[in-house]
Amino acid sequence: MADTQAPPSPVLNQKEAAAYLRTTPGALKKRRHRRKGPRSFLEQDTRRVLYYLTDLDEYLADSAQADSRSNPELSPLTQAPELRRSLGAKRSAKACAA
């Protein structure tokens, strides 16, 4: 006889979303207020913050693409080195401005 379990919910509350992202609910709240975290919405009846599982997956994928360790195009090791400006030029520019 097959064990019938309900499929996982496509909507997670803040605590479940934090566990899914392996962070704390407080860190998730801080990212939400800074508009840096995954998309969220408020449940109208209870005013709870909820997250769609697909939005969490998209947030993880975007975070991986923004990280130079997983995106070779952003790696500083594959880019040509930038020339360092001399400190003397910086000082002379300040002297001219004064």
What does the pLDDT look like over 48-79, one tens digit per residue? 999 999 999 999 998 888 776 777 777 777 77
Q: What per-residue confidence (pLDDT) applies to 75? A: 72
Give, in order, the Cα–Cα distances in Å from 9 to each of 4, 15, 17, 49, 51: 15, 14, 12, 15, 11
Compute the distance between CA of residue 57 and CA of residue 12 in angstroms, rounded to an integer.
Answer: 12
Q: What per-residue confidence (pLDDT) applies to 15? A: 95
Q: Which of 4-8, 73-77, 85-89 has the highest mean pLDDT?
A: 73-77
- Going by C-alpha positions, the residue among 95, 33, 37, 73 that lies closest to residue 12 is 37
Can you give the pTM of this predicted structure? 0.64
Domain positions in the chain: 9-71
Q: Supply the mean pLDDT for the chain.
A: 82
Within its chain, how far is the Cα of 96 from the centroid? Answer: 42
User: Does the pLDDT value for residue 30 go beyond 90?
Assistant: yes
9-71: CATH number: 1.10.1660
Cross-strand bridge partners of residue 79: none
